[in-house]
Copies of this chain bind each other. A is one copy, B any other.
Amino acid sequence: MRATLIYGAGDVRVETVPDPKLSEPTDALLRVVRSCICGSDLWPYGSMPARDRGVRIGHEFLGVVEAVGSDVTTLKPGDLAVAPFVYSDNTCQFCREGLHTSCLHGGNWGAKGVDAGQGEAVRVPQADGTLVKLPHTEDDDLLASFLTLSDVFATGHHAAVKAGVNERTTVTVIGDGAVGLSAVLAAKRLGAERIILMGRHRTRTDLGREFGATDVVAERGDEGIEKVRELTNGEGTHTVLECVGTKPAFEMGVGAVRPGGTVSRVGVPQYAEGPIGPSLFRRNITVTGGVAPARHYIPELLDDVVEGRYQPGKVFDRTIGLEEVPDGYRAMADREALKVLVKP
């Protein structure tokens, strides 16, 4: 089959790889119907040292079950199902607590011996625990929104949940990428009435307004902090959803949050140490967030998508075939595209 591999910064290739097959009785084989490129894929695309052997990449996908191992009970061939961006057994103590990203028997797509999502097919370990059956067919208009449950909408939701967003909290969302916009939508869904979106790309912030942002702040750094404070009686917002992952973005979050408030991070931190010293401490700021346990959230979010209450799939603004994936990376890295959907 064909699948995407990354060889280093700026070097993504689609190549022929061995066809996946069932190896454990808990496996399923999934023919990928939709995949996509994640903002976090752009980190290795921007900086990974070159290597002789490529590594498989892509962690967001949905598709049709082609075969299942003998222990799989919740899926059968022909089912349409979505995979969260890590696999998990859904039965260990961490999964039972809703932290599927710390599953004792889970792991990452593209890790040694595990397929990744930007390809024609995937062997899915722990299929019963990982895959969530979708109630529609593969021709459905809802496929793009279903695919966001795999990562981007679930991640925005995680940011909002960990921050404690509700109808009484003001919210700042840092970043107008697909995760930031998803966080706006998630905050709105959780009842937030005041959502300040920090971003400077007009087409993206326009979608942010459609998703529920009440204010847009284009300024960054100290100026951005000042603007958020101006909008909030000098205080900052109760919650900040940091959806970028750079240190300046986190610092902006710390500046924009209200005393007693929470900075919730879902952008993978590109820094080892951050400013959590006396100034944060004196104001009783909480820092939370992390990799989103998408699997935990999918059932809840799926209902809203199926019934058309939310359309997170609007974050996709380009659709390509599998062979065009390298250009999809380029387009996202150049900010020509917000988020690229792949139809293998």
Question: Interface of A with B (CB < 8 Å)?
Answer: 94, 97, 99, 101-102, 162, 259-260, 265, 268-269, 271-278, 280-291, 293
| Copies of this chain in the oligomer | 2
**Partner pick for A291 among B97, B162, B284, B288, CB 8 A cutoff:** B284
Q: How far is the CA of A97 from the CA of B238 in the complex (A)?
A: 12
Q: How far is the CA of A291 from the CA of B279 in the complex (A)?
A: 11
Contacts of A99 in B (CB 8 A): 259-260, 284
CB of A289, distance to nearest CB on chain B (Å)? 7
Contact A278 B268 (CB under 8 A): yes
Contact A274 B277 (CB under 8 A): yes
Contact A281 B290 (CB under 8 A): yes
Contact A281 B260 (CB under 8 A): no
CB of A174, distance to nearest CB on chain B (Å)? 15
CB-based nearest B residue for A264: B286
What are some 23 contacts across the A-B interface (CB < 8 A)? A94-B259, A102-B259, A102-B260, A102-B283, A268-B278, A268-B281, A269-B277, A272-B275, A272-B277, A272-B278, A273-B273, A273-B277, A274-B274, A274-B277, A280-B290, A282-B290, A284-B288, A284-B289, A285-B290, A286-B288, A287-B287, A287-B288, A288-B288
CB of A31, distance to nearest CB on chain B (Å)? 30
